[in-house]
Amino acid sequence: MLCVQECFISAPGKSILHGEHAVVHGKVALAVSLNLRTYLWLQVTSSSEVSISLPNIDTFLCWNTSVLKPLLSHCTGVGECRSSTELDTELVRKLREFTAVSDGSTDTRSMAVLAFLYTYLCVFSQSEILPGLKVCVWSELPTGAGLGSSAAYSVCVSAALLTARETIRSPLTQSQETARWSDEELELINNWAFQGETIIHGNPSGVDNAVGTWGGFLRYHAGKITPLNRVPTLRILLTNTKVPRSTKLLVSRVKDRITQYPSVLIPVLESVDAVSHICERTLAEMATEGASAKHYSTLEDLIDINQQHLNVMGVGHTSLNTLCQVTLAHGLHSKLTGAGGGGCAITLLTPETEEHVVRDVIEELKQIGFDCWETSIGALGVLMHSPTSVPHNILQILTKY
């Protein structure tokens, strides 16, 4: 019998300022959490069923634990199937067979289900019996649009299952609305979320799940996470072109291009790295000396340069070109954020940007058919919630299924 009977968890989405794709190849990325979150409700039940409801992607599935247990038959020794840092490829193979998902699939539902089942089976692999669970996930983030929806999902799943298994504590006391885990526990959540990302993405750098876990403004370089404490308050517009794309395919497209034209692409990755370094230095100067027009002009140049680099990498899209042209006609600079190929872009607003310009740009982008809104950045990473601290509309959705 598990002690944790239910829990509510949330994790934020993210925006990458600079370094998407380059970060997969060992370069620096600068990323920040968003005020849009994914929420999960887990209940431990006395039944022998595991059910998952994913209303964002219209997926509602249920399995008897007796059909799941045999999938762990290859984990014979203590500790097997439990590595938070190494993917159990045999389990992934068996799960693909079990769910009839082919190796190259990028199907939205299949990826979400595979990531969930993989984490569930690994986390409970040493339990005598697999527990009955009911899990529902709902996100404020657009799915598959560059704002880290896959990472927020993987972080929530990993935090909830590890808490239910009591591998990590339930951090919430009775008087608290929200609570976070210790750094060590967060590291474990992050490691398991990376496994989920690996199943969804194929070859993630780890930056997205790091932001979903730790929150705030981060510098990410080859697995090393450094919180950026000296950053100014930035105003950013987020635009969703609503052009669907898959991070998995885009990441592998960039890899193929690097393999085909290494002498062309490697200098581009190095240039993106330099963009991230200059951006980091500029942000630190703005925070310590006060932000000047020159600082903003540098940030705008870096956005334009990086957008061109991302086009060279092959992850642009005509919708993103249109978006950049529309904002530039109003003097505002934009670049894609996340994997590109459609999805979302960020536009930098400066202290000089007048409010009527912001209104006009938003209106114009909406008329094209895009979603556009001003976002707030730097939200907290993964959280455990009391039911009363889950926004009412989200609580209603989570408890409906």
Nearest CA among 309, 293, 301, 295 for reference residue 254? 309
Q: Which stretch binds ligand ATP (CB under 6 A): 70-78, 140-148, 173-181, 236-244?
A: 140-148
Q: In this chain, which of 338, 345, 348, 377 binds ligand ATP, going by CB under 6 A?
A: 338
Q: Could you identify the residue written with the tokens 């780890």? A: 206
- Residue pair 339/252 in contact (Cβ under 8 Å)? The answer is no
Task: Return the number of the residue (16 or 320) whose C-beta is nearest ligand MEV.
Answer: 16
Judged by CB under 6 A, the residue of 152, 265, 313, 339 near ligand MEV is: 339
Give the count of alpha carbons within 13 A of 337, CB side only: 28
336 forms part of the interface with ligand ATP (CB under 6 A): no
Residue from 139, 198, 239, 375 binding ligand ATP (CB under 6 A): 139
Counting contacts by CB under 5 A, is residue 247 touching Mg ion?
yes
> Active site includes 208?
yes
With binding defined as CB under 6 A, does residue 145 bind ligand ATP?
Answer: yes
Which of the stretches 53-61, 64-72, 214-222, 321-329 binds ligand ATP when contact is defined by CB under 6 A?
53-61
Q: Which stretch binds ligand ATP (CB under 6 A): 136-144, 157-165, 363-371, 381-389?
A: 136-144
Active site residue 110: no
Q: Which of 208, 215, 218, 384 binds ligand MEV (CB under 6 A)?
A: 208
Burial of 386 (0-12, 13-18, 19+ CB in 10 A): middle
Q: Which of 277, 304, 281, 299 is nearest to 28 (CA)?
A: 277
Neighbours of 295 (CB within 10 A): 17
C-beta separation of 279 from 301 below 8 A: no
Q: What is the identity of the amino acid at 378?
A: G
Kind and range of the H or E run holding 299: helix 293-313
Residue 223 or 369 having the CB closest to ligand MEV: 223
For position 208 contacting ligand ATP by CB under 6 A, the verdict is: yes
Which residue matches tokens 């002690």?
Answer: 3
Residue 314, CA atoms < 13 Å, CB-side half-sphere: 15
Near ligand ATP by CB under 6 A: residue from 37, 201, 257, 385: 201
- C-alpha Rg value of the chain to the nearest Å: 21
Residue selected from 163, 246, 276, 319 as contacting ligand ATP according to rule CB under 6 A: 246
Select from 94-102, 161-169, 182-190, 205-213 the region that touches ligand MEV (CB under 6 A). 205-213
